[in-house]
Structure 1
Amino acid sequence: MAALLAIGECMMELTPQGDKSFNKAFAGDTYNALVYAKRSVPELNAFIFSAIGNDDISRSMSTEWEKEGVNTSFTLISNTATIGIYAISTDVTGERSFSYWRKNSAASQMMAIKPVYELIETCPDVSCVFFSGISLAILSEEDKAVLIKFIQGLKAKGVKIAFDPNYRPAMWVNKEHAVFWLEQAYSVSDIVLPGEEDHQALFAHQDHIAIADYCQLFNVQEVIIKCGEKGTFAYFDGKLTAHQPFKAAPIQVDSTAAGDSFAGTYLAQRIINNDIATALQQASKVAGHVVQHRGAIMPSEQYEKVINTNLTN
């Protein structure tokens, strides 16, 4: 069975509803991607590796994961910490900003709960593992290294590794710190999904060609470069393979999870052996619809009505 494992942190998401109330949901970059992967390919076996608390709000989040079809059997429980929280603010153009309360969350301690050899041995049988720069950034320096060792162990077992830098400057000591760990991640990855803005900020790379050349230094086989209004460029073994032109959404309500939905849909399509061009097209369509709705995770009934109907058009 096709299977995807997402590694990272899921938090309680608070979205303003008027002036005095918030809508509660659960979201996080790799979890968001996993949900959209599962929706894109319902037969996909979707696992999440993270850590949550032993409290009511953590159990509520785990229940929500299961409602989305996410298998929680590889999720760890901390008896000393709970989940993080973040609040979304969006401006009139749909661009979002966040306020976080995540320090010392259970997920930030996930690599310290069990020995890495045990995690490698007990990991579910999956086709692909997906992690991100955020998955690394929330961890201590020691645990970042443990996560890379865990990834290496899975790769040695034949699992394909996918990585999205998802660069957030505030989560790193400085630019050099981020570059060091991004390069560690690139060195173990088969698929990377960088944004042009990430590489401009970190390396002063000015176009997809420079980014693809850089990724070749780490022997990354499949490089999917998101370049905003210039579209998305796909490289395979160093050669430009496909280009998906940018198509602006009629309205942009909230750009939260646009990149996550793209990544999840793309990986799901590749796991079931759709070609790169088809996967790009499907992923771009999903992201274009996701930005027209508030919050990271579209309600499932809206996804079924809006996206599944439009994917064939």
Structure 2
Amino acid sequence: MLELRQGADGKSSAGRLNSGFAGDTLNAAIYAKRVNPELEVSFLSGIGKDPYSQGFVEFCQQEFLNTELLLRSKTANLGIYAIDVDDKGERSFYYWRKDSAATQVIQLVNEYWINHELHAPTMVFFSGLSLGILSDDDKQSLLNLIQYFKTQGSQVAFDPNYRARMWSSKAHTVTWLTKAYVLSDVILPGLDEHQALFGHNSAQDVADYMQSLGNKELIVKCGLDGVLAFEPYGQVHHQAFNPAPVQVDSTAAGDSFAGTYLATRLANHSVAQAIKQADSVARFVVQHPGAIVETSIFNAFLAKEMG
């Protein structure tokens, strides 16, 4: 999506906003590629034929993402969202994405599939926002597509990334998140989301619920209580909360965590190692404005971190 945001000082200048490109799964894809450059990371979405859509393609290519599956709509354009960040770095989102090209992604995939093969990736990552922008019929079609990939050998990872305004009710949300959970192998919820939707009051409550849905690798983000990891046989790791020295913008905290965690796991590192790396990246990202930290700044951090 096209992102509109305030300046680095938290204010717009003479009524002007900075622009860029971002979105939860896009942010995760970018950080995954940056952390593990050997990964081939493809991004699937619907875009338009407008200049901003072309700019989006070029932006993804600059981040070394495979753009073959950025499918162009003939009738719709790139979605837009704006971020308002308060003096504590907490953000509010405002969206203009109804009828955007991304909402047509299932139709575009079906058209693409007529003349092209869709090869199963090593892992598919999607989110509650991926589902939330779609009609219920298209939600089911997306899950069917992911199920197809899974039968071809793909792992499935999911972050609920709950935004109440995208759903008609809590019951509606729970229905679709549960379907996604059943399908997924790796799940990265926040405890606050599960408190709001399922009445879960602890990470163990979330783990017990996921266990009832099948064997899962579960990473529960618990705010001040840190991050807890569970596998079918119980809790396997606890990463204590380590706050950033200053929080400028929390927009991509969860996205950078997810992308880094998954990329690190795909590099055959342990759950504990992946959480440590993901926590470090997210802690760094929130100290900078916008969802995507400037490449040279991030690479310098990563070189120091890995060194």
- Shorter chain as normaliser: what TM range? over 0.9
Higher strand share: 1
Q: Which of 4, 8, 16 is the aligned partner of 1:14? A: 4
Q: In the TM superposition, what is the alpha-carbon distance from 1:124 to its structure 2 partner?
A: 3.5
Identity in percent: 47
SS in structure 1 of the partner of residue 41 of structure 2: strand
Asked whether 1:208 is paired with 2:198, we answer no
CA distance in 2, matches of 1:110, 1:117: 10
For the pair 1:118 / 2:113, whether they are aligned, the reply is: yes
Greater mean alpha carbon deviation, residues 17-26 or residues 171-180: 17-26
Instruction: Give, in angstroms, the shift of residue 56 of structure 1.
Output: 1.3
Q: What's the CA shift for 1:76?
A: 1.1
Whether the aligned pair in 1 keeps the contact of 2:120 and 2:153 (CA below 8 Å) is no
CA RMSD of aligned residues (A): 1.6
Question: For residues 266 and 84 of structure 1, what CA distance do their matches in structure 2 show?
Answer: 27
Q: How does 1:253-264 map to 2 (within 5 A)?
A: 253-264=248-259
Distance 1:129 1:201 in 2: 26
SS at match of 1:242: strand
Counterpart of 1:3? Answer: none
Instruction: Tell me by how many angstroms 1:260 deviates.
Output: 0.1
Structure 1 residues 15-94: aligned runs within 5 Å: 15-17=5-7, 18-19=12-13, 20-94=15-89
Query: Aligned in 2, Cα 1:196/1:183: closer, same or farther, shift over 3 Å?
Result: same
Deviations 1:171-230 (A, max 9, x none): 000000000000010010000000000000001100000000101121142000000110
Corresponding position of 1:199: 194
Q: Distance in 2 between matches of 1:214 and 1:45?
A: 33
Sort the Cα spacing of 1:230 and 1:302 in 2 relative to 1 into closer, same or farther, 3 A: same
Deviation of residue 50 (structure 1)?
Answer: 0.6
Read off the aligned partner of 2:291 and give its amino acid letter.
A
Q: Which amino acid aligns with 1:75?
A: L
What's the TM-score once normalised by structure 1's chain length? 0.93
Distance 1:276 1:254 in 2: 27
Gap change, CA 1:256 and 1:311, over 3 Å in 2: farther
The runs of at least 4 consecutive aligned structure 1 residues that moved more than 4 Å come to: none
Greater shift after overlay, 237-246 or 84-93? 237-246
- The answer to whether the 8 A contact 1:26-1:61 is kept is yes
Q: 2:109, 2:123 → 1: CA distance?
A: 22
* In structure 1, C-alpha distance between the alignment counterparts of 2:27 and 2:217, rounded to whole Å: 21
Counterparts of 1:202 and 1:194, CA distance in 2: 11
The whole-number CA distance in structure 1 between the counterparts of 2:27 and 2:153 is 25
Provide the residue aligned with 1:7 in structure 2.
none
Q: Which residue number corresponds to residue 103 of structure 2?
A: 108
Q: Structure 1 residue 246 and structure 2 residue 241: aligned?
A: yes
**1:113 alignment partner, SS class:** helix
Deviations 1:103-129 (A, max 9, x none): 10000110122439938x822442110
Moved more, 262-271 or 68-77: 68-77
Structure 2 contact 120–149 (Cα < 8 Å) conserved: no
Q: Name the aligned partner's letter for residue 219 of structure 2.
A: I
8 Å CA contact 1:282, 1:311 repeated in 2: no
Q: Which sections of structure 2, spanning at least 5 residues, go unmatched?
A: none
Cα deviations by residue, 1:149-168 (Å, 9 ceiling, x for unpaired): 00110000110000000000
User: How much has 1:272 moved relative to structure 2?
Assistant: 1.1
Q: 2:160 aligns with which of 165, 185, 207?
A: 165
Equivalent runs, 1:285-296 vs 2, <5 Å = 285-296=280-291
In the TM superposition, what is the alpha-carbon distance from 1:305 to its structure 2 partner? 1.6
Residues 5-31 of structure 1, C-alpha deviations (whole Å, 9 max, x = no match): xxxxxx101111233211111000001
Instruction: Name the structure 2 match of 1:95.
Output: 90
Shift of 1:306: 2.3
Q: What residue number does 2:134 align with?
A: 139
